Amino acid sequence: MGSQCPVMVKNSIHALDDRIEEMDPRYKKIVGNLAANLAATTLKVKSRYFHRIGVSRKGYLKSYDEIRGLPEHNVFGPGKKYTVIVRHSNSLSADDDARIDARGAALRILSSEKGDTSPLLDFTLKTGKAFYARTVSDFATWLVCGLAAREEHIKRASHVRDAVWTSICQADSYADLHYYSNICRLFRFKDGQEMYVKFKLRPSDENIGEDFGKVEPSGILPPETGAIPRDANDTRPLLFLAEDFQNRVNSPNGLQVRPIPQDEAARDIALDCTKPWDETEFPYTDVGEVIINENLTKEGSERLEFNPFLRCHKVDVIRATSSSHSASIDHGRSLVYKICQHLRNGDPLPEAWRVFLEQSDVKVDLSGCPMAASL
């Protein structure tokens, strides 16, 4: 019965988001629920969910004149120079820098074309060589389950415990820490080669090792709040890390690349951000130095919107169609970030994103969204 040639019709009144269109139904449901949960919190507190407050500075990235061990690359090539913005922050501690917490370094690279100040690439890095969630499904589950469930989980995945504890650290200065992208991207070289790549930002002082600020585990996992309170005898100011960063100047930037496996299962293992790559097999190569020479105002820092989906053909984001793929966490979080940024700034929410939120299991009051009245 019915038409012998059924036709699928899409609503063309509003622009679609290809990130959503590429997801299978389960992937859409997980990311939709995650976005709705974080959107509700964003509307309530009118601030970022993670890395809530930060300090930013502006400067430039200068590639070294000679880069050994890597094929020639259009973006990270010898002698290249770009304007950059670096934002440092604590993961969960928004009011006391002395708390033991994971630290972040978001790096924005602006176009090198004269007169063009548009962002070219955004990288989000953090302390610790690995992340506690392999997929966006793992990430969503980790956020909503309690400490007891997390501790039960790491009994079956001890490397996840290592990822959590090695991410949190004591800090005297943001500039004395090593930051890692954890999640990799796709590098396309001039000769046509394609490789997976991870990024690292390290202190300019080579005597400061990767274990600087290391915290010895004091339990199965840190407290449920994530950040461990400061020592009772610590008398440093609440936001001393922000003050210190405004006086620091440079950090070398490095890349870790590996060939793309031919087998799909092997590729998914390579993309697993809960396990660092073996540095003896895939060593880091220093490609340039970040020189910081200009402070941004607190208001300017708050307005920054880092987007992990910002990419170019030569440094691309790896896409995913299923929530079980290792690449799903980067693909999925890029959408969540942008939805929350729009709501935090009071910007109109695109229709495709509004529908995406409404189809989730979490109800979000969008009456404060500028788009709601016209709808």
Q: What is the pLDDT of residues 183-225, one digit of tens each?
A: 999 999 999 999 999 999 999 888 999 999 899 988 888 886 6
Q: Which domain holds residue 74?
A: 52-348
Helices (H), the chain: 18-21, 25-45, 136-144, 147-154, 158-167, 240-245, 264-270, 298-303, 328-345, 351-358, 370-374
For residue 68, give the DSSP letter: -
The closest alpha carbon to 76, from 243, 254, 196, belongs to: 254
Q: Are 357 and 20 in contact (CB under 8 A)?
A: no
Res. 371: pLDDT tops 80: no
Please compute, for residue 187, the number of CA atoms within 13 A of its CA located in the half-sphere on the CB side.
Answer: 25
Sequential DSSP letters for 103-125: EEEEEEEE--STT---EEEEEEE
pLDDT in tens, 257-283: 999 999 999 999 999 999 999 999 999
Tally of domains in the chain: 1
Domain presence at residue 197: yes
Give me the pLDDT at residue 370, please.
Answer: 46
Which pTM value belongs to this model? 0.87
Query: How much is the average pLDDT of 68-95?
Result: 89
Give me the pLDDT at residue 5, please.
Answer: 61
Cβ count within 10 A of residue 259: 11
Domain presence at residue 294: yes
Domain presence at residue 358: no
CA distance 141 to 139: 5
Domain presence at residue 215: yes
Q: Are 262 and 36 in contact (CB under 8 A)?
A: no
Give me the pLDDT at residue 108, please.
Answer: 92
Domain presence at residue 368: no
CATH of residue 328's domain is: 2.40.180.10
